């Protein structure tokens, strides 16, 4: 079981240490899965926000919610050597970066507390919404005044989170269809952000084993995910049928794209960058 220690939390910064990696976070090769890594970043956000980070205790009122519109994960391959038996202290340092009218950008760095080695970096855009209309909702004036020193006054410094024209799905795609289950949902009753990472990994493995990709011909859990950039454009709910499309960059074997559609409309788009070298079976794979 994972335990955590709150080192310090303010309205703008959070410093929390998680102790160990749960056995359930391993994939079928024994490696820490990309979706579980993303969920631990989410757990860190939840703990911070329940302890005054982002003034979340005051922001959460009736019909107000918050969703991620884009996130970027950069991961040190060393992460994939850790297992549930590794006596590690995972230190998350989270900091608010920019505040807009209805959105916030914040970043989180993950360190091995004992060695000081940086293990991962997460940058994301968080948007406040009306939970009934599902439309963006401006932050209250007191919130914007309190964080006026972080107020976005021009172009964002974090251009990687800007809205951009996303690549179209090519004609020579690989496709997989799935049905959203209750276990895929979060407290907003829509598919959780990490659900899409898991679906994309499943689709990638199916594509690889079918011979669709260059270079990758087996279970994609054997290859480290070193970078993820994912856009959350729409939502999916229980019993929705999703069409997952994947294709590979024309010149870079390590770069693989995913598009998730519902009713022929794209609701998520992601770019994964994989390590090209197949990893080895860990001593304690998942049974």
Q: What angle do CA 234, 236, 237 make, to 5 degrees?
A: 145
Those residues of the chain that have pLDDT short of 70 are 1-2, 283-287
Q: How many CB atoms lie within 10 A of CB 203?
A: 22
The superfamily (CATH) of domain 164-281+283-287 is: Hotdog Thioesterase (3.10.129.10)
pLDDT score recorded for residue 280? 85
pLDDT score recorded for residue 34? 97
**Options 3.90.1570.10, 3.40.50.300, 3.30.950.10, 3.10.129.10; which CATH number does 1-153 get?**
3.10.129.10
Find tokens 């770069």 and name the residue: 255
What is the C-alpha separation between 147 and 107, in angstroms, rounded?
A: 16
Say whether 164-281+283-287 and 1-153 share the same fold.
Answer: yes
Is residue 71 within 8 Å of 125, Cβ to Cβ? yes
pLDDT score recorded for residue 285? 59
Query: Would you list the domain boundaries of the chain?
Result: 1-153, 164-281+283-287
47-86 pLDDT tens trace: 999 999 999 999 988 899 999 999 999 999 999 999 888 9
pLDDT score recorded for residue 284? 60
pLDDT score recorded for residue 8? 98
């Amino acid at each position: 079981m994972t335990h955590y220690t709150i080192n310090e939390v303010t309205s703008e910064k959070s410093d929390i240490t998680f102790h160990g990696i749960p056995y359930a976070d391993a994939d079928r090769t024994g490696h820490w899965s990309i979706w579980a890594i993303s969920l631990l970043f989410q757990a860190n956000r939840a703990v911070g926000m329940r302890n005054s980070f982002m003034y979340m205790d005051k922001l959460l009122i009736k019909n107000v919610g918050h969703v991620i519109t884009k996130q970027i994960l950069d991961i040190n391959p060393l992460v994939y050597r850790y297992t549930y038996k590794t006596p590690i202290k995972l230190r998350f340092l989270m900091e608010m970066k920019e505040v807009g009218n209805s959105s916030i950008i914040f970043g989180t760095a993950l360190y091995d507390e004992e060695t000081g080695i940086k293990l991962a970096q997460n940058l994301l855009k968080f948007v406040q919404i009306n939970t009934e209309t599902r439309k963006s909702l401006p932050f209250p004036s007191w919130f914007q005044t309190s964080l006026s020193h972080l107020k976005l006054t021009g172009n964002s410094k974090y251009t990687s989170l800007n809205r951009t024209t996303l690549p179209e799905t090519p004609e020579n795609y690989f496709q997989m269809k799935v049905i959203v289950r209750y276990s895929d949902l979060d407290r907003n009753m829509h598919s959780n952000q990490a659900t899409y990472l898991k679906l994309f990994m499943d689709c990638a493995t199916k594509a690889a084993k079918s011979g669709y990709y260059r270079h990758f011909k087996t279970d994609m859990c054997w290859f480290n995910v070193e970078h993820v950039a994912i856009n959350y454009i729409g939502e999916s709910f229980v019993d929705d049928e999703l069409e997952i499309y994947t294709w590979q960059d024309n010149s870079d074997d390590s770069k693989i794209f995913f598009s998730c559609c519902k009713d022929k409309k794209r609701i998520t788009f992601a770019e994964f960058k994989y390590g090209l070298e197949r990893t080895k079976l860990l001593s304690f794979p998942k049974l």
